Structure 1
Amino acid sequence: MTSASDPSTNAACEHGIVTVDTGFHRPVFDAAYLIVENGRAAFVDCGTQHSIPALLDALARQGLTPAEVDWLILTHVHLDHAGGAGALMRRLPNARAVVHPRGAPHMIDPSVLVAGATAVYGAEEIERSYGEIVPIPAERVVVAKDGHVVDLAGRLLLCVDTPGHARHHLCVWDQRSRAWFTGDTFGLSYREFDTPRGPFVLPTSSPVQFEPEPLKASIRTLLARDPEAMYLTHYGRVGDVQRLGAELIEQIDAMVRLARAAPAAGGDRHAHLVAALSDYFLARARAHGSALTPAQMQEALAVDIELNAQGLEVWLDRRG
Structure 2
Amino acid sequence: MQSTQGIHTIDTGFVRPGFDAAYLVVENGRGAFIDCGTNHSVPRMLAALDAAGLAVAEVDWLILTHVHLDHAGGAGELMARLPQAQLVVHPRGARHMIDPSKLWAGASAVYGEAVMEREYGRLRPVPAERVVEAGDGHVVDLAGRLLRCIDTPGHARHHIAIHDAHAQVIFTGDVFGLSYREFDTAKGPFILPTTSPVQFDPDELHASIHRLLALQPVAMYPTHFGRIEDLQRLAADLHEQIDAMVGLAQEAGVHADRHAQLVDSLTNLYATRALAHGWTKGRAALEQLLHMDIELNAQGLEVWLDR
Q: TM-score normalised by the shorter chain: which range applies?
A: over 0.9
The structure 2 residue matched to 1:197, chosen from 156, 165, 187, is: 187
CA–CA distance in structure 1, aligned partners of residues 256 and 91 of structure 2? 37
Equivalent pair of 2:196/2:298 in contact (CA under 8 Å): no
- Stretches of structure 1 lacking an aligned partner (at least 5 in a row): 1-9
Counterpart of 1:286, as a letter, is: L
Question: Offset of 1:291 from its aligned partner?
Answer: 2.9
1:310 corresponds in structure 2 to 299
Q: CA deviation at 1:267?
A: 4.5
Deviation per residue, 1:205-252 (Å, 9 max, x gap): 121101000000000000001110000100000000111011100100
Report if the CA contact (8 A) 2:91-2:135 is conserved: yes
Q: Distance in 2 between matches of 1:41 and 1:189?
A: 26
The separation in 2 between residues aligned to 1:225 and 1:81, in whole angstroms, is 24
- Cα deviation for residue 18 of structure 1 reads 0.3
| Alignment equivalent of 2:33, drawn from 11, 21, 43 | 43
- Within the candidate set 204, 211, 214, 1:214 is matched to 204
One of 105, 121, 126 as aligned partner of 2:111: 121
Please give the alpha-carbon distance, in whole angstroms, between the structure 1 residues aligned to 2:82 and 2:281: 41
One-letter amino acid of the structure 1 residue matched with residue 111 of structure 2: Y
After superposition, what is the alpha-carbon deviation per residue over 1:30-70, rounded to whole angstroms, capped at 9, x for unaligned? 00000000000000000000000111001001111111000
Matched, 1:233 2:223: yes
Question: 1:45-194, aligned counterparts within 5 Å?
Answer: 45-194=35-184
CA contact (8 A) 1:165 1:204 kept: yes
Structure 1 counterpart SS, 2:248: helix
* 2:24 counterpart of 1:34: yes
What is the CA–CA distance in structure 2 between the aligned matches of 1:140 and 1:171, rounded to whole Å? 20
Matched to 2:299, the amino acid is Q
Secondary structure at the counterpart of residue 104 of structure 2: helix
What is the one-letter code of the residue matched to 2:47?
D
Q: Runs of at least 4 residues of structure 1 off by over 2 A?
A: none
- 2:271: which partner in 1? 282
**One-letter code aligned to 1:64:** L
Per-residue CA shift, 1:112-162, capped at 9, x if unaligned?
001111122222211110012110000000000000000000000000000
Aligned to 1:5: none
- Separation in structure 1 between the aligned mates of residue 253 and residue 215 of structure 2, nearest angstrom: 40
Distance in 2 between the 1:292 and 1:65 partners? 43
Q: Who is 1:4 aligned against?
A: none
Displacement, 1:295?
Answer: 1.0
Paired letter, 2:185? T
In the TM superposition, residue 263 of structure 1 has moved relative to its aligned partner by 3.3
Given that residues 193 and 292 in structure 1 are in contact (C-alpha distance below 8 angstroms), is that contact kept between their aligned partners in structure 2? no
Q: Residue 70 of structure 1 aligns to a residue in which SS?
A: strand
Alpha-carbon distance between aligned partners in 2 of 1:241 and 1:141, rounded to the nearest angstrom: 32
1:243 partner amino acid: R
Aligned residues: 307
Counterpart Cα distance in 2 of 1:155 and 1:163: 25
Name 1:17's counterpart in structure 2. Answer: 7
Matching residue's letter, 2:298:
A
AA in 1 matched with 2:286:
M
Q: Distance in 1 between matches of 2:131 and 2:253?
A: 44
Q: Which letter does structure 2 place at the counterpart of 1:137?
A: P
Structure 2 residues without counterparts, runs of 5 or longer: none
Cα deviation for residue 254 of structure 1 reads: 0.5
Residue 90 of structure 2 aligns to which amino acid in structure 1?
Answer: H
- Structure of higher RCO (CA pairs closer than 8 Å, 6+ residues apart): 1
Normalising by structure 2, what TM-score? 0.99
Correspondent of 1:249 among 236, 239, 248? 239
Q: Is the 8 A contact 2:271 2:282 kept in 1?
A: no
After superposition, the C-alpha distances for 1:269-292 in whole angstroms (9 at most, x for unaligned) are 111111110101110000000132
SS at match of 1:202: coil
AA aligned to 2:44 is A
